[in-house]
Structure 1
Amino acid sequence: MDIAGFYQELRRRKVIRVTFVYVVVAWLIVQIAETTFEPLQLPDWSLPFVIIILALGLPIAVVLAWAFDLTPDGLVLDSQLAKKNSFKTNSTLSDAPSIGVLPFEDMSEEKNQGYFCDGIADEILNLLTKIESLQVASRTSSFQYKNKFADIKEIGRQLNVKSILEGSVRKQGNQVLITAQLINVNDGYHLWSERYYRDLADIFLIQEEIANCIVTALEVTLSSQEQRVIKMRSTKNIDAYEYYLRGWHYFHRATQKDLLHAIEMFKKAIDKDVEFSRAWAGTADTYAFLYLYFDNQPDYREKASSFSKQALKICSEQAESHVSRGMAHLLCHEFKEAETELNRAIELAPRSFEAFYFYGRSCFHQGKLAEAAAMFEKASSINPDDYQSVLLLPQIYRSLGRVDDALNAGKKGVEVARNFLQLNPDDSRALCLGAIQLVYQGDIEEGKHWIERAIAINACDSIILYNATCLYVRIGELDIALDCLENVVLTGMVNREWLEHDSDLDPLRNDARFISLLEKLEETK
């Protein structure tokens, strides 16, 4: 490890912080000793003895700080923590070029441009994901390093990539200074670096130049379609683009309140440029997520449909428009139309996680379980840190009779959920999906603890109640399971097709209460 890397490792393991705190506390102890030992008439050797003990304790504290880390699970070896936190994609790197895009650092004096810096990195990452021959670490993985210091080699190992793009942004008035550097993970040397000091209106050109420079440095050959995608721009209005970036900033926070703020930002972007197709698509996506995860009021579904339709009308050559339109069709149970749109999105962006994930949901709704499994497997391979796609697989595998695959997927899903919960301890969906697989693995008490935590965080969430239903079915508490399911049906946040194809509910099939619930759903269809 080089000097810079060693220094970053000291910071990561909190050795510097521990040393500083120890020295300060030791100094205070000596001051107190000097003041109090003489009035207490302690022997003359008492003060030197305290100083010697404190001096001997310093290297011990440093060693402990290096070797151990304090976590919510207690004191653990740092090597075990690194292993636990590492993202398990492939154990070895493939021959294909690969890259992780880290969040760009905010270099403005006020430190209030985080949304803009994240947005620039996000846009570059999204451009790169449209290149089929380039493996790109997911946003979830890469953005965990925001405001954190870590050795590039260690980041590369955890992201399972060969190169890292990092950079910084300083925006002042109508000027922007962007620095970007592409680093070889293996040796830490720069493959490419550049500084751009331009008018803010040139931001789209800068992103295109950075993407092209990365492609050249990594010796990636672009198809004609990929070249068109990189050059494609949705707006020339910088104000619209800033509102658009703010919209995604709120969207990624994923609370109901933040999603509503995201819609406000996307709509302001549209007001600035009515032809900004990606702002229309972003608005549609946000309405779809509100409908799926928070409130299934028909107005959200209708707006997801109308905004996605307009996005596609403005630009039919962007994958984002087709994903949005596919999601809108899915909400309306127009499965054939949804799959047509999602297929087109995959043609335009072969590594679109959202396209494969929602294609999987469409297949599951129709009972096409083998196809659903294939889609969720692909989605999980594109974004191995997404707990939802991998945790939906076990129930499908069980329905297909693939018992071993179900067990393996459950173990992997719980591991992904644990990693995610370390960064997002209050994510109720990760808790409830992981809880079911813990029960299937025989960890009944921990599974019940997870589902209870999820319900405590959000007792009215229909998805949590539905997963609680599945958990209680598994442990044989069928009356409690039906109580939970009845509450889910009352919210209107579940459909008959999903209940009919979920193998976790098989023990309820002949129960009169369950049959009654299916009939009620059919009546309100």
Structure 2
Amino acid sequence: MLMKLLSELRRRNVIKTLAIYTGVVLATLETVSALFPMLNLPPIYATVVAIALLAGFPVVFYISWFFELTDEGLKRTAPSEEAAVTTLGLAQWFGLMVILIGSVLIAYLLYTRIAADMARTAEGQSKVAVAPSIAVLPFRDQSPERDQGYFAEGLAEELTSLLGQRPGLQVAAASSSFITASKGMTPVDAGKSLGVATVLTGSIVVAGDRLKVIVELVDATDGKTLWTQSFSRTLSDMFVMQEEIARSVANLLEDVYLEAGAVKSSAKTASSDAYVLYLKGREQYRKQTTEAMKDARKLFEQAIGVDPEYAQAYVGLADSLVLLASGKSKLGILDPGIAASLAEQNLAKALVRAPELADAYAIQGKVFELQQKVDEVIPAYDKALSLNPNLAIAHMWKYLALEKAGRHIDALDSLEHAYRLDPLSVTTMFNRAFELSRRGRFAEARQQFEQLIDQYPSSPMGHQGLADAAFRNGELALSLAHWHKAMLISPDNVNFQQAYVSMLLMLGLLDEAKPLATDSYYTATRLLLSGDYPALFKEMAFQLQANPDDPWVAFEAGWYEYLVGDANRGQQLLLQALPELSQTDLLSAPMPMCSPGIEIAYALQQAGRQAEADALVQACAGRLTDGVSQGIVDMQQSYLSVRIEALKGNDEAALTALELAFSQGWREWWTARDPVLSRIRALPRAQAVFQQIQAAVATERDKAKALVLNEIAGKKS
């Protein structure tokens, strides 16, 4: 059968015709490969010619079966040697049409596939790796004057933001990426520190209104270059170039192919001058000092002056205003209400112009916090994260908001997201270690706080964290030592000084605390601990007269009366404070002690208002259950359990909880005087714990003198 077919192919000269056609194809392709580049024609033209010639093979084969090319032209081939030559029938013409259509279809499919592959290759988008994560390092400034650092860092921030919008990628926060660069890490070391598979790095040259950028994608495991590309644009085309780079990288790392225009920046301006001012503002913003933040505010305002339609500049201005608000953890020159109002106005302008700006919604959440619009805070962060799931600061702010709402499991999840994206941030490291500490995982917490100190010796936050962890574990002297170190690093930080003085007072080191406790903030505590009760109650009487409508002053005065004064007067003052306190005030200030709710529940119980007392106790028990179920395990939780069980009349459970609280680190001197424990105070087991607390504090006092006070005395001498 095969021999017969070959014989027929030779008789009809099919093989000869195909051989001639093959020679023509090869000669044509050789000519095209030499000629087209000389004419500067795109490679796709040569591809079209090659595909057309290859698609012609089945057509030539079919035609040569029925016709023969002779010196006299194209002649019909007889069906056999004996048969006469006939014309083609309908079936033969139909077969030719099928062959033609099939060849064209195959050629088209082949062309589209090759064209797509060529587009990927030409744009640096051929899929060389699929990686789930990336970090964008600050670009190197190769400009002649080396004065474009703000441009190089700004480009890295913009690319981080654009790539962060891709839900399939984990993109390290720019803050952590910049830290690796400041430490001079190689791309491989940076990738390992940031926990990413790839690193995008490169250089920029700015000359006049021209910008040249060379980008390089590096495998963080072995340092091999996966892709490199050079881009040259005018400054006015800066955003187009950013989009091209981000799209190229996304196509490299994801199992997708994004067409041109699929990655778009919402933060554009038509003015290169406005963009330069914005980048200079971001440069100042990253310094995170009051003076630099004021300069950033001015630069953002100037950018808006140049281009009033520049949405990102409004966002930058709002951000700087929020950080300039006075208060804890702020840079503190603006009234919080004024800062929030100004920021809100600028955010409204930004969102009208660019409603898809993720960081605008994140900052809006902080504005809502300043305005105490509690129900609107978390939805704002959720909106930001829906637009950019890699926005680390939104995860961090959401964590803080969820913590304030008592949603500890959800809060921890947000914190872990922030840590994965921004593992080298001081704030992220601190908060994560703090969460480990309050869950009783002190060894892990201390390890991370010590890492924080090692990596950032000029930051007091590592010592602040170790001080808190030591306190939670009952190591008061060690806590004092770290508060002292934090004060030395940041002597103007009022919070550190207050914590240090409070620890001195808790240890009974009144003489050592006296030179530092000159502020009225300490007056009542100092008088209480020194035993000068007449002066204490005189001070509180003055405060009550000066602040007749302040429930917190009434509560404080009532608490002191309960501890060392007239219990009836204490009951009266606590019940006086009750109507002015919200449910949140009663249960969450400070969390997790459920104070002042638990003390007021005792006052209600003593006043015979049992139903109201039971309701408060039940609410506090709910807070305790929530905390335990969400992983909060520490001495404060256990001591709250002591008070709840005592108010419920469960003496045995209260005593067991008291012993547990002491074993976990509870060392408060006033425990033996706590009125809430009046039911169990005289019981032998309770007395034993009170004596253990007294002895433990005495031991810690001696350690404190050796650890801190002798060191201070030595430095003074």
TM-score tier by shorter-chain length is 0.5 to 0.7
Specify the alignment match of 2:440 in structure 1: 403
Name 2:228's counterpart in structure 1. Answer: 193
- TM-aligned CA distance change 1:318 to 1:469, over 3 Å: farther
Q: Choose 441-450 or 323-332, whichever is displaced more.
A: 441-450
Residue 251 (str. 1) matches residue 285 (str. 2): yes
Cα offset for 1:380? 1.9
TM-superposed CA distance for 1:100, in Å, is: 2.1
CA–CA distance in structure 1, aligned partners of residues 491 and 159 of structure 2: 38
Change (3 A) 1:416 1:119: farther
Q: Deviations over 1:492-520 (max 9, x none)?
A: xxx97974226699577989xxxxxxxxx
- The answer to whether the 8 A contact 2:429-2:452 is kept is no
Q: Residue 418 of structure 1 aligns with which residue?
A: 453
- What secondary structure is seen at the aligned counterpart in 1 of 2:291? helix
When structure 1 is superposed on structure 2, of 249-258 and 269-278 the one drifting more is 269-278
- Distance (Å, rounded) in 2 between the aligned partners of 1:352 and 1:434: 28
Q: Contact (CA 8 Å) 1:391, 1:409: kept in 2 or not?
A: no
| Alpha carbons 2:246, 2:263 under 8 Å: kept | no
Which has more radius of gyration?
Answer: 2
User: CA 1:468/1:303 → structure 2, altered by over 3 Å: closer, same or farther?
Assistant: farther
Q: Is the contact between residue 211 and residue 230 of structure 1 (CA under 8 Å) also seen in structure 2? A: no
Residue of structure 2 aligned with 1:102, choices 137, 156, 164: 137
Look up the match of 1:294: 331
- Partner in structure 2 of residue 127 of structure 1: 162
Q: Within 1, Cα distance between the matches of 2:404 and 2:271? A: 40
Question: Could you tell me whether the CA contact under 8 Å between 2:135 and 2:177 is conserved in 1?
Answer: yes
**TM alignment of 1:294-373, pairs within 5 A:** 294-295=331-332, 297-298=335-336, 299-373=338-412
Q: 1:454 to 1:177 in 2, by over 3 A?
A: same
The CA deviation at 1:107 is 0.9
Corresponding position: 1:500 with 2:590: yes
In the superposition, relative to structure 1, how do residues 371 and 107 fare at CA in structure 2: closer, same or farther (>3 Å)? same
SS in structure 2 opposite 1:191? Answer: strand
The answer as to 2:190 corresponding to 1:155 is yes
Is the CA contact 1:361–1:372 (under 8 Å) kept in the aligned structure 2? Answer: yes
Written as runs of structure 1 = structure 2, the 5 A alignment for 1:1-40 is none
SS in 2 for 1:182: strand
Check conservation: 2:243, 2:263, Cα contact below 8 A: no
Specify which of 364, 370, 380 is matched with residue 419 of structure 2. Answer: 380
Structure 1 residues 150 and 233: CA distance shift in structure 2, 3 A: closer
Q: Which has the higher contact order (CA 8 A, sep 6+)?
A: 1
CA 1:375–1:408 in structure 2 vs 1: closer, same or farther (change >3 Å)?
A: farther
Matches of 1:313 and 1:167 in 2, distance apart?
Answer: 35
Question: CA, structure 1 residues 392+233, in 2 after alignment: closer, same or farther (shift >3 Å)?
Answer: closer
CA 153–470 in structure 1, closer or farther in 2 if over 3 Å, else same: farther
Task: Give the structure 1 partner of residue 171 of structure 2.
Answer: 136
Separation in structure 1 between the aligned mates of residue 225 and residue 520 of structure 2, nearest angstrom: 56
- Give TM-score scaled by structure 1 length: 0.67
Per-residue deviation, 1:436: 2.3
SS at 2:218 equivalent: strand
CA–CA distance in structure 2, aligned partners of residues 460 and 149 of structure 1 = 31
1:365 to 1:177, Cα distance in 2 relative to 1, 3 A: same
The answer for the alignment partner of 2:487 in structure 1 is 455
- 1:284 and 2:318 matched: yes
Which residue of structure 1 lines up, in the alignment, with residue 537 of structure 2?
A: none
CA–CA distance in structure 1, aligned partners of residues 180 and 431 of structure 2: 27
Q: How far off its partner does 1:471 sit?
A: 6.4
Aligned in 2, Cα 1:409/1:197: closer, same or farther, shift over 3 Å?
Answer: same
Higher mean alpha-carbon deviation, 457-466 vs 231-240, is at: 457-466
* Aligned-pair CA distance for 1:98: 1.8
- Aligned equivalents of 1:498 and 1:412: distance in 2? 30
- The alpha-carbon distance between structure 1 residues 163 and 174, as it changes in their structure 2 partners (threshold 3 A), is same
Choose from 243, 263, 275 the match for 2:297.
263
Q: CA deviation at 1:392?
A: 3.3
User: Shift of residue 386 of structure 1?
Assistant: 2.6
Deviation at 1:200, TM superposition (A): 1.2
Q: CA RMSD in A?
A: 3.8
Task: Say which SS state the counterpart of residue 167 (structure 1) adopts.
Answer: strand
Percent sequence identity is 25
Structure 1: distance between partners of 2:251 and 2:296:
35
Contact kept? 1:417, 1:434, Cα under 8 Å: no
Deviation at 1:229, TM superposition (A): 5.6
- Which residue identity is paired with 1:161? V
1:274 alignment counterpart: 308
Say whether the 8 Å CA contact 1:156–1:164 is kept in structure 2.
Answer: yes
Counterpart for residue 38 of structure 1: none
Offset at residue 255 of structure 1 (A): 0.9
Shift of 1:147: 6.2
Structure 1 residue 293, shift from structure 2 partner: 1.6
1:121-147: CA deviation from partner (whole Å, max 9, x where unpaired):
121122222222212233233223436
Q: Distance in 2 between matches of 1:370 and 1:190?
A: 41
Superposition deviation, residue 456 in structure 1: 3.2
Distance 2:345 2:501 in 1: 34
Task: Determine helix, strand or coil for the equivalent of 2:590.
Answer: helix
Identify if the C-alpha distance between structure 1 residues 204 and 469 changes in structure 2 by more than 3 Å, giving closer, same or farther: farther
Match of 2:153 in 1: 118
Q: 1:254 to 1:263 in 2, by over 3 A?
A: same
Q: Which runs of 5+ in 2 are unaligned?
A: 1-129, 523-583, 594-633, 637-665, 672-717
Matched length = 404
1:375 and 1:297, CA in 2 relative to 1: closer, same or farther beyond 3 A?
same
Partner SS for 1:168? strand
What is the CA distance between 1:415 and its match in structure 2?
4.2
Contact between 1:359 and 1:375, CA under 8 Å: does it hold in 2? yes
- Using the TM superposition, give the Cα deviation of residue 408 of structure 1 relative to its aligned residue in structure 2, in angstroms: 5.6
- Corresponding letter in the other structure for 2:216: Q
Q: Describe the superposition over 1:390-428 as per-residue Cα deviations: whole angstroms up to 9, x where unpaired.
A: 5335666777xx434xx365235414522441xxx3333
